[in-house]
Amino acid sequence: MLFNSVEYLFFFLPITVLVFLILARAPSTERQITWLVLASLFFYASWKPEYLLLIISSVVINFLLGKQLARPGTGKALPWLTLGVCFNLGLLGYFKYTGFFLDGLNAIGLWLIPVPEITLPLAVSFFTFQQIAYLVDVSRRDCEEYQFRHYTLFVLFFPQLIAGPIVHHKEMMPQFSTMRPRANIPTDFAVGITFIAAGLFKKVVMADSLAQIADPLFSAATATDQLNTIDALLAGFAFSFQVYFDFSGYSDIAIGSARLFGIRLPENFRSPYKSRSVIEVWQRWHMTLSRFLRDYLYFSLGGNRLGAFKRYRNLVITMVLGGLWHGAAWTFVLWGALHGLFLCLNHTWRAFTYRAGLEKLCQTALLQPMFVLLTFTAWTIAVIVFRAEDVPSSWIIIQSAFVDINFSQPLILQETFNNGLLQRLLTFVGVPVVTYSEVSIVMLAAVLICWALPNTQELMIKYDPVIIADNAPIKPAGMSWQPTFFYAVITSLLLAASLMSMSSITRFIYFQF
């Protein structure tokens, strides 16, 4: 049941909210919590009911391990924590990496048994990392103990179950425990619906239109040894914008859906393409995953406490494992390694400018756009590897775009654009549609939205839409959202544009992780 489906938007979500509000009349929150647990189980089971047993078993086992870790004075926290981490990583490893590992052994002749077909359970990467963080936090005495029903909702709460954010126990449990009939329900609904409308527009209109540019070009890269440089650049930049709007759209819909229940999720996406360095990108992109990798992996390896060489080693290891978390493929490993390299170069550059006294020069307004463009280009090179079918295909695109410049190859895109919303609008007003002119309009719209407009959190900061990291306050935008008629019209237009474009339902990119 995808966020951008009719089933979710017009049946599941409204019914879940309606019953939740009816149950809010009860003297405690337990009935509301039970209802949200049942709704979340139904949401998960709508994919493959047989995997309910897997996720329920994972929840039960981790809850019991957490209770054992929370017992005072046992003196045996480390063995229980080790057992819990091994259980979770073993579960993730079996379903996600068995085929990848056995294929590798088979390729070098060390395995002769056919590789079994294993279906990757939905959201296994997210609920696994979330529960590992919970066990570590319990061992550090950073969590209070709650009832099983509360813990189950913490793991299964459907707005963040499938693709994050990866939440902390201490962020969510106090909110679940204090749900009551609220005087601010109208504001919560206005904020939530606005976020959902913005997220749908980003996914259905922007990301899916950009996919129609990127998909045929990446497919062509697997069938040829060179692309026209225009097509190669379009492939890289179109997918770079596609994954931006796809994940930003998912994050907005998750935030909006949770807000309908009066729940705030952690901020997970903050205009990362406005970043002036790769370090800053990872402070803005999938912020809760970056937090997990930093707090539970990078720091555990020693962080930056053991000298420059080990710091860079730890960065590379962390990013390679972060890449592998995204999927069992060499393209993800290489993508992670590239980001590890970029981070090492970025830290080296920062150290050099500090020693050379060039910090103020690098912060001048004249150089900032150059750093933004350089960062975006580096990100795009890496994201080509992320998207490509295999490593050789990614090199064909990168080589054609940035190394072997060639404009003599035939252009790939055809004269149609799959009857998208933009094509229908242009046809309606009498503008003839030619593929590359429409591509230009879509790409220009992506550029303007990414770099010229504030993000949804900045627009709505007065209404406290997300849990913000203590060390990263959000600066209010020049314009400010208000629950007024004007913004209701804007929200309605975004919803209308999205619904007009929902001719087919496409998965979010991060749903595959």
* Helices 13-23 and 30-45, axial angle in degrees (round to 10): 160
The secondary structure of residue 467, as a DSSP letter, is B
- Give the CB-side neighbour count of residue 286, counting CA atoms within 13 A: 19
CA atoms within 13 A on the CB side of 155: 29
Query: Cα(376)–Cα(382) distance, rounded to whole angstroms?
Result: 10
Residue 299: DSSP 8-state: T
Torsion of CA 466, 3, 479, 364, to 10 degrees: 70
In 3-state terms, what secondary structure has residue 145?
coil
> Rounded distance, CA 220 to CA 355, Å?
47
CA distance 462 to 480: 8
Measuring CA to CA, which residue among 446, 417, 502 is closest to residue 2?
502
DSSP assignment string, 96-112: HHHHHHHHHHHHTTS--
The number of beta carbons lying within 10 Å of the beta carbon of residue 109 is 7
Answer yes or no: are the C-beta atoms of 124 and 58 closer than 8 Å.
Answer: no
At 88, the amino acid letter reads: N
DSSP 426-447: HHHTTPPP-HHHHHHHHHHHHH
Tell me the β-bridge partners of 285: 269
Are 262 and 275 in contact, with CB atoms under 8 Å apart? no
- Residue 285 has φ and ψ, to the nearest 5°, of -105, 130
The one-letter amino acid code at 39 reads: A
Please give the Cα distance from 163 to 140 (Å, whole number): 26
Those residues whose C-beta lies under 8 Å from the C-beta of residue 130, and which sit 6 or more positions away, are 155, 166, 167
Distance CA 271, CA 261 (A): 26
CA angle 168, 169, 173 (to 5 degrees): 130
218 neighbors 397 (Cβ within 8 angstroms): yes
Tokens of 468: 């913000």
Catalytically active residues, by annotation: 326
The alpha helices in 261-390, defined as continuous H runs, are: 278-281, 287-293, 308-326, 330-355, 359-362, 368-387
Structure tokens at 344: 């090492």
